[in-house]
């Protein structure tokens, strides 16, 4: 049982690390909660038997560092919207160019029969 919780905690901690460095780092909270739960259970079971492995505190530390990185990214990263006027001008220019190309087509030579 202790091995199962250790493996589940390590898997959840790895997912936490991966999610915390990706752009959608807010999703790292869910595997972090699972990792903390599984690590606590593994620690409790290993403390009960009297042999605490070094991997359990390592998993906990890895999870806490990943949560710190996630919190940092959530606090200090803001989504910036670029200048909308420039985008609207490019869109209008693109529409005009497409209309000009359609008007330049010579459809009189096409035989539809």
Q: What is the pLDDT of residues 21-56, one digit of tens each?
A: 988 888 889 999 999 999 999 999 998 888 878 899
Q: Where are the domains of the chain?
A: 2-80
Reported confidence tier of residue 113, pLDDT bands at 50, 70, 90: low
Contacts of 49 (CB under 8 A, 6+ apart): 2
Considering only residues 15 and 84, tell me which one the structure prediction assigns the higher pLDDT.
Answer: 15
Residue 72: the pLDDT is 92
pLDDT at 34: 95
pLDDT of 109 higher than 80: no
Q: Cα–Cα distances in Å, from 59 out to 23, 52, 91?
A: 23, 13, 50
Euclidean distance between CA atoms 107 and 113, whole angstroms: 14
Identify whether the C-beta of residue 35 lies closer than 8 Å to the C-beta of residue 9.
Answer: yes
């Amino acid at each position: 049982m202790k091995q199962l919780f250790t493996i589940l905690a390590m898997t959840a901690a790895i997912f936490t690390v991966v999610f915390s460095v990706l752009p959608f780092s807010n999703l790292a909270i869910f595997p972090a909660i699972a990792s903390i739960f599984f690590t606590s259970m593994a620690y409790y079971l290993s403390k009960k038997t009297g042999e605490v492995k070094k991997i359990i505190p390592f998993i906990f530390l890895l999870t806490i560092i990943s949560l710190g990185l996630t919190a940092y990214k959530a606090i200090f990263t803001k989504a910036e919207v670029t200048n909308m006027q420039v985008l609207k001008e490019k869109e209008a220019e693109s529409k005009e160019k497409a209309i000009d190309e359609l008007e330049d087509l010579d459809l009189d030579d096409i035989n539809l029969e």
